Chain A
C-alpha cells in the first residue's frame, strides 16, 4: 500500500532534518536482538523460555528510542528451536521539522515480529564444556504500526511495514568459568509503499566470566557473570521511490559491559550499549548510549518432536 500524497509530502519536508537520524535509530535497533545477540546455547526439547527485554537508546539532539522486546523460545527437538520475537512496544522520539517549525515528536506503537528457526549444526560436549554452531533462519513480519504518527518519517515509525528476512550463524564455546560467543548475520527487507530499508550485515562477539561463586562444588543454583559484548552493524542506504535516502545507512560499533545473574529457572541481565565507532552522515547527530535489560524465565512442557 502506498502512502497518501499528503503523507509523502510531509516526509519529504522533514527529510533534511531528521530522516538521517531516524534511519540511524532504526538501524541501530535492528542490530540488536538478545543480550545482545542470539547464541548457539542448548535449548532442551520441550523447554519454553520467555524473555522480556526493555531497552533505551539515546542520540544527541534529544532523539531517543525506547522499546520492550518479548521473545519466546521453544525447544521443538534437541536440535531445532523455534523463536518468536515481538517488539511489543516501540517509542521513537526525535526533533522533526514540518513546515519550517521544529519540534520533538514521538511515534509509539507495536513493532514488528521476527519468526526464526535455529538448528544446532555442530556440537561437541565434554564435562563442563560445550562448543556449538547454530545457523538461524528468520522472517520479519510487518505486524507493527507503520503510521503511528503521520508527522514523522517512515524510518521512525514503530513498525517497518515491510517483510524481511534474516540469516545468521552463531557459535558458542561455554566452559564452567567463562563462555565466548560470536555471530555474523545478514538481513534485508522487501520494498513497502515505495520505501526499502537498507540491508544490514552485522557481526557480534561476547565474553562472559564467572564472578560468583568461585567454588562450583555441589548443587550450585545461582551464578553471577561479568559480561562484555560487542556489536558491529553496517547498513546500506535506504531507498525511497527508487532514490537513495540521504544520510541513511552507515556503520555502528558498540561495546557492551554488563552483568548476568542466572539460576536454573530464571536469569536477570543488564548491559550498557556504548559507542566505540560510528560512521554516519546524520547532520552532526550521534549515537550517545543505550541500556538493555533482560529477564528470562524457563517453563517446561513434555511436548516436543
Chain B
C-alpha cells in the first residue's frame, strides 16, 4: 500500500536525529502519500505540505482527514464537536486539505472511535487519522 511504503521509507531513512524531526518527516510523507492517493483532494504543493508538517510541531497533535467540509461556516459545528472531547485542547481546520489539526491537553489521549464519532455527529465523514507521535521503541508513526 502506497501510504505504508512511503512511511516505511521515511522511517527507515534513519537520518533524523530527534523524535520530533522524525515525526515531522512522517507527517510530510503521510500528507504527500494521501495527496498522491487522491485522498487529499487537489494535489498539495511540496512547500505547502512542508508548512503543514511544520504546524504539527507538538508530537502529541493528531491530524485527521474530514470529508465534506467546504467553507468556513461549516467548520463551526465540526470544531465544536471535537472540542467537546475532554482531552482536546484546541482544533483548527485546513479547508484545502480537509485536515483537522487536533491539539491534545498535556498527557491526554483520545481513542480513534471517539474522534470518528465526533465527526459523524458533526454531519461529516471521517477519513484517515494520523498520530505523528513516535512511541518509544516504535520505528514508524501510527496510521489508523
Residue numbers of A with Cβ under 8 A of B are: 41-47, 75, 78-79, 120, 123, 125-130, 174-176, 179, 216-223, 225, 262-267, 296, 298, 300, 302, 304
Contact = CB atoms under 8 A, between A and B. Distances in A.
Contact of A125 (B42, B81, B84, B125): B125
Given A127-B41, A174-B70, A298-B76, A45 B121 contact: yes
Interface of B: 39-42, 48, 51, 65, 67-81, 84, 92-98, 120-125, 127
B interface majority secondary structure? mixed
Contacts of B92: 219
A221 B73 contact: no
Given A75-B123, A78-B122, A129 B72 contact: no
A297 to B, nearest CB: 10
Contacts of A42: 68, 74, 77, 122-124
A128 B74 contact: no
Contacts, number: 123
A46 B28 CA distance: 34
Contact of B72 (A45, A217, A223): A223
Contacts of B120: 78
B77 A46 contact: yes
Contacts of B95: 128, 176, 216, 220
Contact of B68 (A43, A47, A123, A217): A123
Nearest to A130: B68
A23 to B, nearest CB: 36
Contact of B73 (A75, A126, A217, A298): A298
A176 B98 CA distance: 10
A127 B97 contact: yes
Contacts of A265: 76
Contacts of A222: 72
Contact of A78 (B40, B67, B121): B121
6 contacts: A42-B123, A78-B121, A125-B68, A176-B95, A219-B92, A264-B79
Contacts of A120: 123
A264 B76 contact: yes
Nearest to B99: A127
Given A126-B41, A128-B42, A264 B73 contact: yes
A266 B72 CA distance: 9
A218 B122 CA distance: 21
B74 A41 contact: yes
B98 A128 contact: yes
A217 B124 contact: no
Contact of B67 (A127, A216, A266, A302): A127
A105 B51 CA distance: 64
A42 B120 CA distance: 11
Nearest to A179: B70
Given A217-B96, A218-B94, A300-B76, A129 B71 contact: no
A126 B80 CA distance: 21
Given A44-B78, A219-B92, A263-B73, A126 B121 contact: no
B67 A126 contact: yes
B68 A44 contact: no
